[in-house]
Chains A and B, each alone.
Chain A
Amino acid sequence: SSSEADEMAAAIEAELNDFI
Chain B
Amino acid sequence: TPCSGDIQLTEEAVRRYLTRKPMTTKDLLKKFQTKKTGLSSEQTVNVLAQILKRLNPDRKTIHDKMHFYLKE
Q: Which residues of A contact B (CB under 8 A)?
A: 4-6, 8-9, 11-13, 15-16, 19
Q: Is the CB of A8 within 8 A of B53?
A: no
- In the complex, which residue of chain A has the Cβ closest to the Cβ of B68? A16
14 A-B residue pairings within 8 Å (CB atoms)? A4-B41, A5-B29, A8-B25, A8-B41, A8-B44, A8-B45, A9-B24, A9-B26, A11-B45, A12-B29, A12-B45, A13-B25, A15-B45, A16-B49
CB distance from A13 to the nearest CB of B (A): 6
Q: B-side binding surface: helix, strand, loop or mixed?
A: helix
Contact of B53 among A5, A6, A9, A19 (CB under 8 A): A19
Partner of A16, one of B26, B44, B53: B53
Report which residue of A6, A15, A16, A19 has the largest number of chain B beta carbons within 10 angstroms of its beta carbon: A16
Known contacts A9-B29, A12-B45, A12-B48; 9 further A-B pairs (Cβ under 8 A): A8-B25, A9-B24, A12-B25, A12-B49, A15-B49, A15-B53, A16-B49, A16-B52, A16-B53
